[in-house]
Structure 1
Amino acid sequence: MVFAIIYYTFVLLFAGLTYASVEGRIPVVPRLQYLVVLGLSLISEWPLPVIVLKIVLINIASLLGVFRGIIPQLFYIVDLLNMIGLVVIFIDADEARRAIEQAIKSYSDQRELPSFTSETFWQRMVNPHFVPQNVFQYADIGYATHSEKSEATKNDFEQVNYLTLDVYARKDISRSTSKPVFMYIHGGEWIRGDKASPYPLIRHLAEVGWVVVSINYRLAPISFYPSQLIDAKRALRWVKQNIEHFGGDPKFIAVAGDDAGGQIAAVLALTPNKLEYQPGFENVDTSVKACVLINAITDLVGEQNSWISDYFSKKIAGRQTKDITFLREHSPLHLIKEDPVPFLVFHGDRDTSVPFKSSSIFVEEFKKNCKAEIQFIPIPGGHHVYNLFSSPRSHYQAIGVEQWLNHIHSEEGNGDYAWVSKEHDFSD
């Protein structure tokens, strides 16, 4: 009886998530919204492991005699239909492959992205926590000065633990020739998240020869914004001063982020050397060479993100009322200028947390006002945190980012991509 209740609960839960994943509609569940968003992305990115779990549960239920009677058999039929839906979701991931191949074909190295017939594709599906074996992680490196750490402890002693970063690099990296650097800023609505999140993008870029830095920053509401932006610039300062020791090139740094981390990354890229955001290190160059955004929050003011104005002003920035001037000053959409760095923008077309249209508007405004390159790649079937999971969709995106960054690196006068490792052939 107990297992029957567990089985029925799982059937209803996964059926609801599968339907919502396909339809791109999210149920409103107060206090559990983050878990619902995570569940939708899990279903859309890991459909095969979910199918395996369902087969195991069905076999156990059958052995225990759960399917005796009309109602249990109806649940069984719903479960079978659910698995068919999961197969459709799995096949849907191939749309992302075609979209990215089309987007990068003008500057790619003509590498074919892994398909259903690729060994690489199945390697990542069978092992959802896939981590390249030739990448080494230098963890928990502090990037703040002693005085900055002392200041951080005034709000909460543990805040100093967030002023750290990880460096990822190939174990066989040669330090005779500096490699370009990729600095990633995690998302989490400015209140959660961690640099150790298993983003496939981070590991892929390190595997093919980039030196990758993943940073933490102090979280709201213990540390109010713009502490998060200032911390990101402090991390960038550390990278410029120290990354050569890890084989990285401090003269070529690209910054990236998703969700709130995308907002921080974009503002960092669009406000180089702005003194008010780099207190105590005003003389440090905080410019970067490129910016990559994934499901990023680009407008804190507009109608597309109507919920966020009050949330950001009061909970994240600690202000008593909604401050439109302040919101505009920290909205990437309103910071676009004539000579920014190149941008690459991804957005899942089923994102229900950050509206897909907000990225479209950002790209349109960028093209109207800037001479710099910008590329927008919609991700078919992508939910809000699809990039967090080791799945075909996230790995297609990782290869797309790699190709675009190599293109920008070459455009900067750094020659071709000869420095990139060819040891791992992703096309198989």
Structure 2
Amino acid sequence: MIIALLCDVFLIGGLAFASVEGTLPNIRRLQYITVYAYSWVSEWPLLFILLKIGIKVLASFFGVFRTWLSQAFFVFDILTMIGLVVIFLDGYEARVAIHEAIKDYSDEVEFPTLSRDLSIFSDTFWNRLVNPFYIPKDVIQYANIAYCTDNELAEVQTDQMQSLSLDIYTRRDTLATLKPVFLFIHGGGWVRGDKASPYPLIRHLAESGLTVVAINYRLASVAPYPAQLIDAKRALRWVKKTIKNFGGDPNFIVVGGDGAGGHLAALVALTPNNADYQPGFELVDTSVQAAVLINAITDVLNETMVWHSNFAEHFAKKIAKLETNNEDFLRQHSPIHNIKPDSVPFLVFHGDRDNLVPFQLSNNFMERFKKVSKSEIQFVQIPGGHHIYHQFTSPRSQYQSIGIEKWIKHLYHDGKHE
């Protein structure tokens, strides 16, 4: 029992401290493990508090706290739990930043809180904040729909066909009127990830009345970039042709993504009808109405040296499988260098503790967008957010989901797509 107590004290206590002050190791594979560890603590602090209480009850039952050393550990652990409460409140306060960005787009003056509205105790608000496995009961999923043509599927290996499929999420009580469409592209550094990841954003938007499409794409390990961008545009082609059968409005599609998926989403939005990325369907309209980015990679050229100096080389050789660093190619595939005066509106989120994809990338993208484009861009700095904060059911992800919902509906209503 004493071993379990020591692991509880030092492991969780260390992670709680590191989630606020920690840095990433230099080894790339360890970076992803570290990011997940940080996010587990920063997004689910209440669960860790419950775990600690349970261990303490058991330790007390077995008489562990009879020595002065174990009592010192007990005091240290109480301080850790106080820190976890502070971490929870830090995430809870993310609503302020998100509300400020979209306050002009909704009739609801305030976001729901833990104390302001007693009605939150009679619905799912608390479930969304404290239950990491919460799934809305009125959301239905249509899974693993192939979005490529027979000829395109014939060109890929059998084990890659699952990569060219999508899932559709929509509310069971589908109304007669068409609904806005949200096309989501998962992240994972172009080499990992899956559309089936339980993003709270997908479930919330579907429950709130949008038609949500989550796509897979061939990973760079089997298909060098820009195969991923081409696949995303193939999925968009399918959505425009077919989504009406699922209650979605093909004339209003918002594309979104996180990390590397945000990179692809931004390029989909910024390169409409570009024949270079539409082989075999060059004449198909691949324009969208807006884009949502979460901790997105918006500059693979890394001209301003915002992050580690070898990233451009990594993207060129490991993702695009080029023999040399081709600066023209990297610039062409950096969203920040594809902004145009008529680019569609953007909503950009980035956690200010993201040490995998630097926060400054999104800030640079926002500044350039404002200089070049006539469209609106909203940039929201998420307090305390690590790179994958949005993949956890937590206050940050919940308020972010509400903000994205309000922003999309604002664009949809103002564009009179109803």
Could you state the TM-score of these two structures normalised by the residue count of structure 1?
0.92
5 Å matches for 1:5-404?
Answer: 5-23=3-21, 25-28=23-26, 31-117=29-115, 118-119=120-121, 120-153=124-157, 157-174=158-175, 176-302=176-302, 303-305=305-307, 306-404=309-407
Question: Structure 1 residues 394 and 271 mapped into 2: Cα distance closer, same or farther (>3 Å)?
Answer: same
Indicate the larger mover: 106-115 or 293-302: 106-115
Query: Which secondary structure state, in structure 2, belongs to the residue aligned with residue 195 of structure 1?
Result: coil
Q: Equivalent residue for 1:420? A: none
Query: Which secondary structure state, in structure 2, belongs to the residue aligned with residue 304 of structure 1?
Result: coil
Distance between the aligned counterparts of 2:130 and 2:377, measured in 1?
35
Distance between the aligned counterparts of 2:150 and 2:298, measured in 1?
33
* Cα offset, 1:68, TM superposition: 4.7
Query: Which secondary structure state, in structure 1, belongs to the residue aligned with residue 288 of structure 2?
Result: coil
Cα deviation digits, residues 115-150 of structure 1 (max 9, x gap): 122434422133221111111000111111122222
Q: Give the partner amino acid of 1:240.
A: K
Q: Percent identity?
A: 57
Question: Structure 1 residues 4 and 310 mapped into 2: Cα distance closer, same or farther (>3 Å)?
Answer: farther
Cα deviation digits, residues 280-338 of structure 1 (max 9, x gap): 11121111000000000001112113342121111111122222111111110111111
Query: Which secondary structure state, in structure 2, belongs to the residue aligned with residue 105 of structure 1?
Result: helix
Q: Equivalent residue for 1:419? A: none
Query: Which secondary structure state, in structure 2, belongs to the residue aligned with residue 31 of structure 1?
Result: helix
Query: Which secondary structure state, in structure 2, belongs to the residue aligned with residue 217 of structure 1?
Result: coil
Task: Judge conservation of contact 2:130–2:394 (CA < 8 Å) in 1.
Answer: no
Distance between the aligned counterparts of 1:68 and 1:33, measured in 2?
40
* Cα offset, 1:166, TM superposition: 0.4
Distance between the aligned counterparts of 1:61 and 1:289, measured in 2?
57
Distance between the aligned counterparts of 1:322 and 1:15, measured in 2?
43
Distance between the aligned counterparts of 1:216 and 1:60, measured in 2?
45
Distance between the aligned counterparts of 1:277 and 1:29, measured in 2?
33
* Cα offset, 1:25, TM superposition: 3.7
Distance between the aligned counterparts of 1:229 and 1:309, measured in 2?
18
Q: Flag structure 1 segments of 5+ consecutive residues without an equivalent.
A: 416-428
Task: Judge conservation of contact 2:44–2:130 (CA < 8 Å) in 1.
Answer: no
Cα deviation digits, residues 182-217 of structure 1 (max 9, x gap): 000011111111111111111111111111100011
Task: Judge conservation of contact 1:183–1:212 (CA < 8 Å) in 2.
Answer: yes
Distance between the aligned counterparts of 2:144 and 2:379, measured in 1?
33
Q: Give the partner amino acid of 2:360.
A: K
Cα deviation digits, residues 137-188 of structure 1 (max 9, x gap): 00111111122222221xxx311111110001111102x3211110000111
Q: Give the partner amino acid of 2:155.
A: E
Could you state the TM-score of these two structures normalised by the residue count of structure 2?
0.94
Following TM superposition, the consecutive aligned residue runs of length 4 or more in structure 1 with deviations greater than 6 angstroms are none
Question: Structure 1 residues 28 and 61 mapped into 2: Cα distance closer, same or farther (>3 Å)?
Answer: farther
Cα deviation digits, residues 27-83 of structure 1 (max 9, x gap): 556632211101111111111011101111222233334445444333333222211
Q: Flag structure 2 segments of 5+ consecutive residues without an equivalent.
A: none
Indicate the larger mover: 306-315 or 219-228: 306-315
Query: Which secondary structure state, in structure 1, belongs to the residue aligned with residue 155 of structure 2?
Result: helix
Query: Which secondary structure state, in structure 2, belongs to the residue aligned with residue 152 of structure 1?
Result: coil
